[in-house]
Amino acid sequence: MPALTSQEIASLSGCFDCLSPGVKETYMVTLLQQIQSTQPSASLTTTSTGGLRTANAVSTANPARRRFMIQNQKNESLFLKFGTGATKTDYHLELNKHSPSGGSYSAPIETNGYVGAISVAPDSGSASYVFAEFV
């Protein structure tokens, strides 16, 4: 089964469960190949700035990216898309709400090997999250 390019992954629209079985399998094989191609034992550095972010465009495609981490910081869901243009109906992962005072914590999502664009969409208002990219 051929792997998908970052552009092909980014062009997939809709939720993962909505894709046809063949596309799902190709997508998963591609992501696994990207993960396996990283060298976790090598040193990683980051050029990401710290602090809260609110932009819906998290990161552009970066062929040098080896890992990234993102964590929702808002008391509502945050929708993450491996590609551009995330919406509440066009996303790949839903990050849980983050409300420490209410006992609800959003665990950080850490992904190795994905080098394409990353975007988010808040459930309402502006997004609020932290992001770090490692090269």
Provide the residue count of the chain: 135
Q: Which residues contact 111 (CB under 8 A, 6 or more apart)?
A: 35, 67, 68, 69
Q: What angle do CA 4, 10, 16 make, to 5 degrees?
A: 85
Which pLDDT belongs to residue 1?
47
47 vs 51: CA distance, rounded Å? 13
Q: Say if residue 22's pLDDT is above 80.
A: no
The percent of residues above 90 in pLDDT, for the chain, comes to 41
Which pLDDT tens digit goes with each residue over 3-20?
666 666 666 655 666 767
128 vs 132: CA distance, rounded Å? 14
